[in-house]
Amino acid sequence: MGRPGRRGDLLALEGYHSPQVDVAVRLNTNESPFPPPMGWVDALAGEVGRVDWRRYPDRRARMLRSALAGLHGVDPAQVYVANGSNEVIQALCLAYGGGGRVAAVFEPTYRLHSHIPAIAGTTVATGRRADDLALDVTEVRRVVAEVAPALTFLCSPNNPTGMLDDPGSVAEVAGLGGGIVVVDEAYGQFSPWSALELVDEDRPLVVTRTFSKTWSMAAARLGYLVGPAWVVDDLEAVTLPYHLDALKQLAGSLALRFVDDMEERVAKVVAERTRLVAGLDALAVHQWPSAANFVLFRPVSLPGPVVWQGLVERGVLVRDCSSWPGLDGCLRVTVGTPDEDDAFLTALAEVLA
């Protein structure tokens, strides 16, 4: 008896992975360089013993949603929580994508904005960003007019470029009729502007965020969406029952008691980003302006993969983006601790020399 095969439209699809190499300095996955506060660790440890493990978790995650609503000044009905912002994107594709529907993306951008719709059986229409890698609203208009997408994905700050979309451009895109406009703000707290101010019940725009970066909780895999309540209702209709476990709900709710600590960590990363950018300015690379916790750069005289390998040989791991659309020769480095960034800059100077 033959073994069932993968769906025909997924035969060429490869999983999305970041290389995990055993080196001293890992600056390739945009994780926080700083741990969460010990107060949060202690509070979570104290609550674990009170979890009623024989019972299913709160399916609606009411405590966590209420805490997030308070943080952002919205109604809890406008908040949806999931296992990382990638599961939020998956829920959006399940609710609004599928056969005969299109998701629009603008490359180069976060690769899962194409990967997840494809898994959900959604056609992906690809537009291009401008030559400077900024969002090109004229190109967005063209794609929306041609394919009438059910979902239009933006990313601000954009991954992997780090560039922030203009507020007027995002508002204009939201009015083009491109279905649900999804503004991925995984790095939103590092930037001076957020599309959260555009969220209301009459605009088909949602903002996704994650606890992985600014909350130093990548191990928890927790993310959320803020948008119109009717979108949240649609997402809950396609969500598996009890998908968010009790411990994760506790971890997120308790983290929101430590907002000041989070903002202090963000300020440190932003200050260190400024120092890292200055260090790159002194080397033979071209870099793009970043509003995130990473910097995209292209070595001037050597191929990106050669530089990547040279860094690994010196104990430093960054992300090789050279195979991504429009990013020939480019590498992306996460903002680390001062010591980690010094090690990176020293190693990079040696490789380029």
| In the predicted structure, residue 3 carries a pLDDT above the cut 90 | no
Report residue 103: phi and psi, to 5°: -115, 135
Looking at the chain, which residues constitute the CATH 3.90.1150.10 domain(s)? Answer: 15-36+260-352
Fold of the domain spanning 38-257:
Aspartate Aminotransferase; domain 2 (3.40.640)
pLDDT at 18: 65
Give the confidence band of 199 by pLDDT, cuts at 50, 70, 90. very high
Residue whose C-alpha is closest to residue 299's, from 327, 274, 278: 327
Are the CB atoms for 125 and 154 separated by under 8 Å?
no
Query: Which residues, including other chains, have CB under 8 Å from residue 283's CB and lie 6 or more apart?
Result: 345, 348, 349, 352
| In the predicted structure, residue 1 carries a pLDDT above the cut 70 | no
Q: Tens digits of per-residue pLDDT, 121-173? A: 999 999 999 999 999 999 999 999 999 999 999 999 999 999 999 999 999 99
Which residue pairs from 267-270 have beta carbons closer than 8 angstroms and sit at least 24 positions apart in sequence?
Answer: 268/34, 269/32, 269/33, 269/34, 269/190, 269/293, 269/335, 270/190
Are the CB atoms for 293 and 34 separated by under 8 Å?
no
Looking at the chain, which residues constitute the CATH 3.40.640.10 domain(s)? Answer: 38-257
Across the range 331-347, mean pLDDT stands at: 98
Q: Tens digits of per-residue pLDDT, 235-284? A: 999 999 999 999 999 999 999 999 999 999 999 999 999 999 999 999 99
User: Nearest-5° angle of CA 123, CA 182, CA 200?
Assistant: 135
Give the confidence band of 26 by pLDDT, cuts at 50, 70, 90. very high
Are the CB atoms for 180 and 230 separated by under 8 Å?
no
Give this prediction's pTM. 0.95
Return the CATH superfamily for domain 15-36+260-352.
Answer: Aspartate Aminotransferase, domain 1 (3.90.1150.10)
| In the predicted structure, residue 12 carries a pLDDT above the cut 80 | no
Give the confidence band of 21 by pLDDT, cuts at 50, 70, 90. confident
- HSE-up of residue 77 (Cα within 13 Å, Cβ side): 7
